[in-house]
Every structure is written in structure tokens, then in C-alpha cells.
Amino acid sequence: MTSIPDYAHLKSGFADPVLDSQGVFRTIMSAIAYPGRIVTIGGSVRGPSPLSTATTAFCLTLADGETPIWLDAGARNAEIPAYLRFHCGAPIVDDPGGAQFAIVVDAAAAPRLHLFDAGEDEYPDRSATVCLQVASLTDGAETRWSGPGIEHAIFPRVTVPDWFWSDWIANAAAYPKGIDVVFTCGDAAIALPRTVKVEA
């Protein structure tokens, strides 16, 4: 039995769904095209806590009935699944491996990266994009990123769990299969597509 969510207290989505999602998409596309650069997305959108503005805008822009979403324990509260079902129409799944988008609000307790869908040899695009909400995009240990979209090298300082960069090497080794990551913090985001080589 599914209980009927309390829609009376449902938070609102984009004020202008057409143009707001266009603006957010262009910024996300720019973030993926130029990995490692901090972008600002979401503006005045306020999703249910603890979803950040950037994570909320990411979901409202890209998720719909065709994209199963996996939520970590911190995001499985009373409000978030109802919010995503109402605004995006997205199915919420229990298995991280069955999700096209994964939302992680507690980065410290994030599942290891191999648990997400890395796609298939013949269809590497059928892989998960993980939206990882982190404590900071600027206070972590310095890392050196290089690859497509990066002219020389870029040195982001994202706070991630200590296993993250060794998992990322395994993810890069599976190329062209692999997951793509978007780090968010408040209304800021940094994208980490699978092509990026990271020296931690």
C-alpha cells in the first residue's frame, strides 16, 4: 500500500518551468563541457531539505517519468520522494544499480561507485549520473584534473570520502563505460564526466 503524500505542504518547483529549466540545463551543459569549473544553478528554487538548491534544480531540469531515481538514506525522508514524484513524475527505485540518476545528500555515506550502473560496451550512454551533495567545493584536498574540456589542468578542491578517488580511477579504467558525477553544494556545482583523469 502506498500512502498518499501530504501535498498541502509540497514545496514549489521552478517559477517558470520552461525558461528556468533551459537556463539550468545550459549551465549544467557548460559544467559538463568544462569540467572542474564551479557553476551556479537553481537561483531561487528551494526544494525540500536536505536537497540543496543545485540538486533540486538538477532534478527538476533533467528527471522525468523515463528516469528512475535512487535516493540515499538521507534523502528518503517524508518530503523528497513525494516532491520528485510530483514535480518530475520520476519513479524512485531501491537499487542504486537500477537508477539513471542517483541523489546522494550524505556524501560521507555514499555507496561505492561500482554499485551504480556504468552502462554497456555497446551502449555506454546508458549509465548513471550521480548527483553528489558535498560539504564544500573549495575546502577539500587539492586534486589535479585533466582531460577533454580542460585546456591545461584544473585544481578543484571538492570534499569527498577518502575512497572516492581510487574508485574514480577504476571508473575511468572502464571507459567508455562509466558513471558521470555532478558535485553540488548550495547553489554551486562542479561536473566530473567519466573522461576526466584525476590525480589526488
Q: Which is nearer to other proteins, 159 or 195 (CB)?
A: 195
Q: What is the DSSP letter of 175?
A: T
Q: Which of 108, 134, 105, 128 is nearest to 116 (CA)?
A: 128
Q: Does 55 bind other proteins (CB under 8 A)?
A: no
Picking from 71, 196, 62, the residue whose alpha carbon sits closest to that of residue 132 is 71
Smallest gap from Cβ 100 to other proteins, in A, equals 8
Count of alpha carbons within 13 angstroms of residue 22, beta-carbon side: 3
Number of residues that bind other proteins (CB under 8 A): 36
Q: How far is the CB of 133 from other proteins (least distance, A)?
A: 19
**Binding flags for other proteins, 15-54, as an x/- string (CB under 8 A):** --xxx-xxx-xx-xxx-xxx--------------------
Q: How far apart are the first and last CA of the chain?
A: 47
Cell numbers linked to 88: 518530475
Q: Which residues pair with 131 in a beta bridge?
A: 103, 182
62-81 binders of other proteins (CB under 8 A) = 62-64, 66-67
Q: Where along the sequence are the contacts to other proteins (CB under 8 A)?
A: 17-19, 21-23, 25-26, 28-30, 32-34, 61-64, 66-67, 121-122, 124-125, 127, 129, 148-151, 175-176, 180, 193-195
